[in-house]
Structure 1
Amino acid sequence: MFDLVMARLPELIIVIYALSILLYFIDFVDHNRKANAFAFRLLLIVWAFQTIFLFMYMLNTGRFPVLTLFEGLYFYTWVLITISLFIHHILKVDFTVFFINLIGFCFMAIHAFAPIQRSFVTAEQLMSELLLIHITIAILSYGAFSASFVFSTLYLLQFKLLKEKKWKKKLWRLADLAKLEKASFVLNTIGFPMLLLSLILGLRWAVIKLPVFHWYDPKIIGSFFLLVIYGFLLYAFAKRVIFGRKLALWNSAAFLFVLINFFLISRISKFHFWFS
């Protein structure tokens, strides 16, 4: 019975998630507030089911589920939904929940159709609180950067509508440019120290646990490069070196490197052999 629930619950989640995204899309196109309200209720159900599945998975495996790409994708999706619900409650900026969960649904779909990865051979070697904290904080930082990317995307959309003088309903439902830019900056401010802390913990674990440790590993170089990129974006915003549309474009490009670092570089890394 337990195995059946573990197998079917993700399928049920992705169906409800798809309906929620569809209703959000209807609201985006046709300004349908009833669709928006129902979509939000479905999203709450998705979050509740995902949370239940995470706890069940932890009970079944006896550890926090982040040690494989399969597990990481699920946790990343849960983080995105949690962030979107928090942003909806605090900022109440229309379309943020839709766009953040559009990203979340893509990763949930990848997770649903990916083969289950279990790392029995290296489980004892990888079971370390330091490692789990490192991976968890890294995924949380990626979640913050993802939400920041969405605000930059909304900034670019708002900027385009204003420039073309298209006074549509969408224009009035978006926050002003300054608020969107500030929200993106705040999320990067949250994500940057989390990524830095994750790198410090990860390097500390590697030095202690790995028999051979290479500083020039692609994943290490990519992660530090990502840290430099977001550090520069924070500096540029604070000093107004880059701002407005150009900053939003730079922030969007930075998120693309987040995806490259998460998927591509992780696979060619010898350091992150468990996450491929």
Structure 2
Amino acid sequence: MVTKSWLYDAIIYIYALSLLFYFSDFVGSNRSAKRMGAGLLSFVWVLQTVYLVFSLIEHNRAAAYSMFEALFMLSWLLVAVSLIISRFFRIELFVFSVNVIGFAVLALNFFSNPKVSPTLASWKISDELLFIHISLSIGSYGAFAIAGVFSGMYWFLHRQLKEKKWSKLMQRLPSLDKTDHYAYVSVIIGAPLLLLGLSLGVVWIVLEGDIRLLFDPKVINSWFVMLAYTFYLFQRIVMKIPGDRLALWNLAAFCIMALNVVFANFYSAFHQWS
């Protein structure tokens, strides 16, 4: 059982990592990221196949397939279809969206099954689910914080250059192109991490059986944060908004995220620091 738990943990983490690379390709047509994402996703499919084969071998032929096996097959099928589509067609949004669904199904299937023990025997299933949820969310917050710093640097440099003010500090900062690029890359990393964190949060709420938590102010505001950064990417990729306006929007999105984190202790029913 411990071996199976490690295998399932590996599938979850590698699956999440592959989605990061697929998201990078989706927003920026990055062929290297697509190859890396496809390679990791192929490895996920291989691990799923191994797990599925062993489960089917151990399966009691006299009994019907369980919900766990059915959902696992569904996730396995979604991964297989997305790999085929990714190989022969350039429909990045479809591939990414299908795999977000597949990841959520896989996580719900794993953490709702008491027979799949967590790696640490002293942990409950919900504890491990929350650990992954919190880890992904903190990773996204860190990436957004870095993006906010670079956007602040961009805005400062832009204003100084526009007003023709020169200083030694400007010489120590990266160029406008680099600060804009670094902020963009940070958002590309943070956005899928937050999306995966939110999906696992929804899975946790479903397992807790209290659907009212879906309407908790912290949950709703987290989706607003996701929308704010999604709109930033839309403005940059589709609308081709100038860098100074993008920097201001990125700073605004960071402020929304920061307020969401700081005030969670006051108005959230379950996202509290103490």
Residue 149 of structure 1: aligned partner: 148
Pairwise CA RMSD? 2.1
Write the deviation string for residues 11-57 of structure 1: whole angstroms up to 9, x where unpaired.
xxxxxxxxxxxxxxxxxxxxxxxxxxxxxxxxxxxxxxxxxxxxxxx
- Is contact 1:207-1:213 (8 Å) kept? no
- Is contact 2:153-2:179 (8 Å) kept? yes
Cα distance in 2 for partners of 1:145, 1:261 equals 13
Cα distance in 2 for partners of 1:238, 1:225 equals 20
Match of 1:254, SS state, is helix
Cα distance in 2 for partners of 1:156, 1:163 equals 10
- Is contact 1:213-1:271 (8 Å) kept? no
- Is contact 2:205-2:214 (8 Å) kept? no
Cα distance in 2 for partners of 1:211, 1:199 equals 16
Cα distance in 1 for partners of 2:273, 2:197 equals 15
Cα distance in 2 for partners of 1:162, 1:214 equals 48
Write the deviation string for residues 42-88 of structure 1: whole angstroms up to 9, x where unpaired.
xxxxxxxxxxxxxxxxxxxxxxxxxxxxxxxxxxxxxxxxxxxxxxx
Residue 198 of structure 1: aligned partner: 197
Percent identity, please: 41
Match of 1:275, SS state, is coil
Residue 167 of structure 1: aligned partner: 166
Cα distance in 2 for partners of 1:240, 1:176 equals 23
Aligned 1:1-276 pairs, distance under 5 A: 128-211=127-210, 213-272=212-271, 274-276=272-274
- Is contact 2:133-2:201 (8 Å) kept? yes
Cα distance in 2 for partners of 1:240, 1:172 equals 31
- Is contact 2:202-2:214 (8 Å) kept? no
**CA displacement at 1:128 relative to structure 2:** 1.2
Cα 1:213–1:125 change in 2 (3 A) is farther
**CA displacement at 1:149 relative to structure 2:** 0.4
Mark the runs of 5 or more structure 2 residues left unpaired by the alignment: 1-121
**CA displacement at 1:269 relative to structure 2:** 1.2
Residue 50 of structure 2: aligned partner: none
TM-score, normalised relative to structure 2: 0.52
Cα 1:266–1:125 change in 2 (3 A) is farther
Cα 1:210–1:245 change in 2 (3 A) is same
Count of residue pairs the alignment pairs up: 153
- Is contact 1:152-1:184 (8 Å) kept? yes
**CA displacement at 1:213 relative to structure 2:** 3.4
- Is contact 2:217-2:268 (8 Å) kept? yes
Cα distance in 1 for partners of 2:153, 2:211 equals 45
- Is contact 1:131-1:205 (8 Å) kept? yes
Cα distance in 2 for partners of 1:233, 1:178 equals 17
Residue 54 of structure 1: aligned partner: none
**CA displacement at 1:135 relative to structure 2:** 0.8
**CA displacement at 1:258 relative to structure 2:** 0.8
Mark the runs of 5 or more structure 1 residues left unpaired by the alignment: 1-122
- Is contact 1:140-1:194 (8 Å) kept? yes
- Is contact 1:195-1:227 (8 Å) kept? yes
Cα 1:213–1:169 change in 2 (3 A) is same
Aligned structure 1 segments of 4 or more residues deviating by more than 2 angstroms: 123-127, 209-215, 240-243
TM-score, normalised relative to structure 1: 0.52
- Is contact 1:236-1:243 (8 Å) kept? no
Write the deviation string for residues 152-187 of structure 1: whole angstroms up to 9, x where unpaired.
110011112211222222222221111111110110
Match of 1:242, SS state, is coil
